[in-house]
Amino acid sequence: MTNAIYMLDCYLKEFEANVESVKDDKFVVLDKTAFYPNAGGQPYDTGKIIRLSDNAEFAIVYVAKFGDVISHEFSPAGLKPGDKVKGIIDWDRRYRHMRMHTAAHVIANVIEKEAGAKITGNQLGLETSRIDFSLENFDREKFVEYEKKANEIIRENRKVNLSIVSREEAEQKLSRLTTLAKGFPPEIKEVRLVEIENFTIEGCGGTHLASTGEIKGIKIAKLENKGKDNRRMYFELVDSLL
């Protein structure tokens, strides 16, 4: 099991760890990591690992999660089990994904609450992110208001609180506040909660901002009708609100 230290400290840019195993001279598992894996619609982190004994550098080009183990693809070859290393996250990329992820929670919950939409999927990107939802009555005009509402929550700079709680506690809190992320698989014993104060609590394993103000602003870029009740919304980040 990898200790995923980004879960409670999303602002960790550097960390020290031990190499637990290496596969094919290409994939490394550490005892703990701040590198976020490709998961839950949020893209993986990139960066580098420096071996402390000789300062040899290895690029991290992909990160994946298998059960509770996080595997980092690195190059060139050379890392060995037992090596002590320092990991350094490519912060520009990660921080952009944090802004996108917290923004996605804000806008997704606005359209859930205001339009009664049901979120069915999402994919975050550096420039554009996508949210899929089902909604019978698709009134495009209304999305101007939803964008405004989302930007109000951003402007109010609400705190984002992270916690890891038991499954039972999570189910209680979530059922009161949102229908999202219910029905965890039975093997899940603990759930990481992301709370945007006085707005929403969701089960989510992604990396988040400390407060909504850091999103700065969002813009809905495109709305698509994917047939039946399926809709798709693309949004972008903006660096200042009018």
Site residues, Zn ion (CB under 5 A)? 204, 206
In terms of DSSP bridges, do strands 160-166 and 129-134 run parallel, antiparallel, or are they unpaired? Answer: unpaired
If the CB atoms of residues 107 and 135 are measured against Zn ion, the closer one turns out to be 107
Distance between CA atoms of 191 and 178, rounded to whole angstroms?
Answer: 15
Nearer to Zn ion by C-beta: 70 or 160?
160
Q: Which is nearer to Zn ion, 87 or 206 (CB)?
A: 206
Q: How far is the CB of 191 from Zn ion (least distance, A)?
A: 12
CB of residue 62 to Zn ion, shortest distance in Å = 21
**Least distance (Å) between residue 121 CB and Zn ion:** 12
Shortest reach from residue 66's CB to Zn ion, in Å: 20
| Separation between Cα atoms, residue 229 and residue 241, nearest integer Å | 32
HEC per residue, 123-166: ECCCCCEEEEEECCCCCCCHHHHHHHHHHHHHHCCCEEEEEEEE
Q: Cα separation of 163 and 78, whole Å?
A: 37
Q: Pick from 236, 157, 159: which is nearest to 194 by CA?
A: 159
The residue with its CB nearest to Zn ion is 204
Closer of 22 and 204 to Zn ion (Cβ): 204
Q: Give the nearest distance from C-beta 146 to Zn ion in angstroms.
A: 18
Beta bridge partners of 65: 70
Give 37 or 206: the residue with its C-beta nearer to Zn ion. Answer: 206
